Chain A
Amino acid sequence: MRLATREAFTGFRKSPLLSVLGIVTIAFSLFAFGLFALVALNIRNALQAVEERVEIRAFVADGTSPEAIATAMGDIGSFPEVQQVTYVSPDDALVRAKEEMREFSDVFESGFLPGSMDIRLRPGFRDPATVKAVADRAGTYQFVDDVRYGQEWVEKLYRLRTLATFAGLALGAAFALVAVIIIGATIRTAVLARSREIAIMRLVGATDGFVRMPFLIDGFVKGVLGGLLALGMTWFAAQTITRHMIQTEFFDARVAALGVIAGALIGLLGSLFSVGRHLKEV
């Protein structure tokens, strides 16, 4: 271990340029990933805010008795998916419509709006399938004329989010692969530069694990440094966007640590591949 650590740092000493290149490529791959994750995070936050407003409106026929409405609301309120049911009377609906669309308030002056039961769902039950299921159940009441829940809109929202997640994962994996290959190539150069030494090590009875160790430490350290650099760059990018465009939220400490760990893993994987390949050849 002593020797391994020392050997690992001779890599830095003997080829500083290559080492820096390795670190920077890890940093850039993770930075690209980080930027995407940052966008995804902020989209997600935005979606969550929008999602909270997902609401089902069951319009009640004119002249329905208050008792019938109260019973239905009790029923609906006891669905496990439902957070809250509120009754909006025709008068309230008019007031609300006027508030929501101030500039058209005169249009509603003499108009009539139906009363409705407004259903809000619990977090975690706001996906299109659940929304539709609850809406369908609300529609089974005789006195419910129509149920609206912005169905297309909800579905689009979800598709966007799914797309964002998959694109993020695919891009992230691609970038990580590129980083593994690049760091593998830099470690491979280090391995080749020391192939003579490795041959002698094996001749005098060093195990593969021992031969591998300095390169793994090398890759690990480079990975961690690359991860930290990427974190710094991503943070800087987030600050810049916040200053010049819109308020963006940064990763929490756990996700940030995960990024550095990912860097370390990339470094380790890269060196494992190149040393493994070399050991297979000799």
Chain B
Amino acid sequence: MIRFQGVGKEYPRTGIALSHITFHLRKGEFAFLTGPSGSGKSTILKLAYMEEKPSHGDVRVSGLSGRGASRREVAKLRRKLGIVFQDFRLLEDRNAEANVAFALEVTDTPKAAIQPRVHRALAQVGLASKATSFPRELSGGEQQRVAIARALVNDPFVLIADEPTGNLDDRATRGIFQLLRDINSTGTAVLMATHDLDLVRRADYRVIELNHGRIVYDSAEPPPTEAAGGAP
């Protein structure tokens, strides 16, 4: 699935963003990435969908190594990932179904297969009735649902979400979170960065907490501080 092994990341100008990151997201697992702003959450997600390459160690996603992957292999990998962001990233000049269909069109899906899959994805996020609405005609929560439908339409094995509720009010946040839980319950793994601790507390999911580019807590692993920095 997604495996980080001793990963470090240095950016050209800002320096070290991550160091010694090791964790394994299992099949069907739901995990939160938490930590203060600038602690490296988005960087971990970028490494996972291979927008960035690791400076040290390796990231393996579905068998593909982040160190050696070609651009073509990365493109093929992303067809099996669903990626959503705080700012939705929808195309303003296309309606909801066209936005969802876009993910299929650019991956050469046969035309006949597109329409039914788009409708299924929109139904899955509860937006079947707004298929022809444009993003500006939708609320923030609805726009995020369209983005999630777009992420789901290729049947990904994992949903990677970078603060998906960051721009939403409480009600919409709860709705989107419930949607992510439903998606997870059908077997899709979820890796979600958030600093909404309420949300984290509400569910009994794995929590990976970052600080200054290091994992300071991982609920699925024994506390690392004693073991790693212990007595000689």
Q: What residues of chain A have their CB less than 8 Å away from a CB belonging to chain B?
A: 2-3, 196-197, 199-208, 210
Q: B228 — which chain A residues lie within 8 A by C-beta? A: none
Q: What residues of chain B have their CB less than 8 Å away from a CB belonging to chain A?
A: 49, 71-72, 75-79, 81, 83, 89, 91, 102-103, 105-108, 111, 150, 154
B91 touches A206 (CB 8 A): no
The docked-state distance in angstroms from the alpha carbon of A197 to that of B105 is 13
Choice from B72, B103, B105 contacting A207 with Cβ under 8 Å = B72
Known: A197-B91, A203-B83, A203-B89. A3 touches B107 (CB 8 A): no
A202 touches B91 (CB 8 A): no
The docked-state distance in angstroms from the alpha carbon of A205 to that of B103 is 8
A200 touches B154 (CB 8 A): no
Q: B107 — which chain A residues lie within 8 A by C-beta? A: 204-206
Chain A interface helix/strand/loop/mixed: helix
The docked-state distance in angstroms from the alpha carbon of A203 to that of B91 is 13
* B79 smallest CB distance to A (angstroms): 4
Q: B76 — which chain A residues lie within 8 A by C-beta? A: 205, 207
* B52 smallest CB distance to A (angstroms): 12
Considering only CB atoms, which chain B residue lies closest to A3 in the complex? B105
Choice from A196, A199, A205, A210 contacting B77 with Cβ under 8 Å = A205
* A5 smallest CB distance to B (angstroms): 12
B150 touches A204 (CB 8 A): yes
The docked-state distance in angstroms from the alpha carbon of A201 to that of B104 is 10
Task: List the 7 shortest-distance A-B pairs measured between CB atoms, nearest first.
Answer: A205-B79, A205-B78, A206-B106, A204-B103, A207-B75, A201-B106, A3-B105
Considering only CB atoms, which chain B residue lies closest to A14 in the complex? B93
Q: A208 — which chain B residues lie within 8 A by C-beta? A: 71-72, 75
